[in-house]
Amino acid sequence: MTYLIRRANADDQPSILALVRSERLNPCDLRFSNFMLATTEAGAIGAAQIRRHRDGSRELGSVVVLPAWRGRRVAIRLIDALLADEIGSVFAITGIPRVGPSARWGFQPIDPATAPAPVRFNYRMGRMAGVISVIKGRPVNRLVVLERPPAGGVHPIL
Question: What would the pLDDT profile of 94-138 be if each residue is shown by its tens digit?
Answer: 999 999 999 999 999 999 999 999 999 999 988 887 555 545 566
43-52 and 58-65: which strand pairing?
antiparallel
Put simply, whether the predicted model's pTM sits higher than 0.75 gets the answer: yes
Q: How far apart are CA 2 and CA 135, in angstroms?
A: 41
Residue 88 scores a pLDDT above 90: yes
Confidence (pLDDT) at 156: 46
- C-alpha R_g of the chain: 15
- Distance of alpha carbon 109 from the chain centroid: 15
As to burial, measured by CB atoms within 10 angstroms (0-12 exposed, 13-18 middle, 19+ buried), residue 62 is buried
* Mean pLDDT value across residues 4-25: 94
